[in-house]
Amino acid sequence: MPDKIFVDTNILIYAHDLDAGVKHEKAARLLESIWDTGTGVLSIQVLQEFYVNVTRKIPQPLSPSTARGVIENYLAWQVENLPPDSILMASEISERHQLSFWDALIITAARHARVKKIVTEDLNNGQTIEGIQVVNPFIS
């Protein structure tokens, strides 16, 4: 079975933002591949951020009911719901790697899910953080 892949919020947003041009196309293809292999992992944080951004911050926002439907589909994936002490772990990762707390919380969720790769545009492509490889799918 292929390795699990943690998908960050920005990838989900681009996949559903029809105005995102090339990034929309690449993100949509990537998510289609992840659906096909059944390797997708998300976190509660990612789904929360996705909902807020696609209903308020993209040029053509989704209706709340449409966004809920999209999220309902993603609930078929592995969704990490971190325990309370993960806040401490994220703060340590933030300090150790000079990341924002929110990015460190994403790394914490990916680590909790035991993934080897995270796809995001928010971290440095090729970097390894806490044993997790960062891949920016928009870099050729």
Q: Which residue range forms the structural domain that includes residue 64? A: 5-135
- Scored b (16 or more CB within 10 A) or e, 92-120 reads ebbeeeebeeebbbbbbbbbbbebebbbb
Tell me the pLDDT tens digit for each residue of 15-26: 999 999 999 999
- Residue 68: pLDDT band by 50, 70, 90 thresholds? very high
Average pLDDT, the chain: 96
Q: Is residue 19 part of a domain?
A: yes
54 located within any domain? yes
Task: Report, in this order, helix, strand and coil percent for the chain, each rounded to 5.
Answer: 50, 15, 35
pTM: 0.95
140 belongs to a structural domain: no
How many domains would you assign to the chain? Answer: 1
- 47 lies in some domain: yes
What CATH number has the domain bearing residue 49? 3.40.50.1010
40: pLDDT strictly greater than 80: yes
Question: Is the predicted pLDDT of residue 140 greater than 80, yes or no?
Answer: no
In a domain, 94, yes or no: yes
Q: What is the pLDDT of residues 78-117, one digit of tens each?
A: 999 999 999 999 999 999 999 999 999 999 999 999 999 9
Measured between alpha carbons, how far is 13 from 88 in angstroms, rounded to an integer? Answer: 28
Tokens of 88: 């401490």
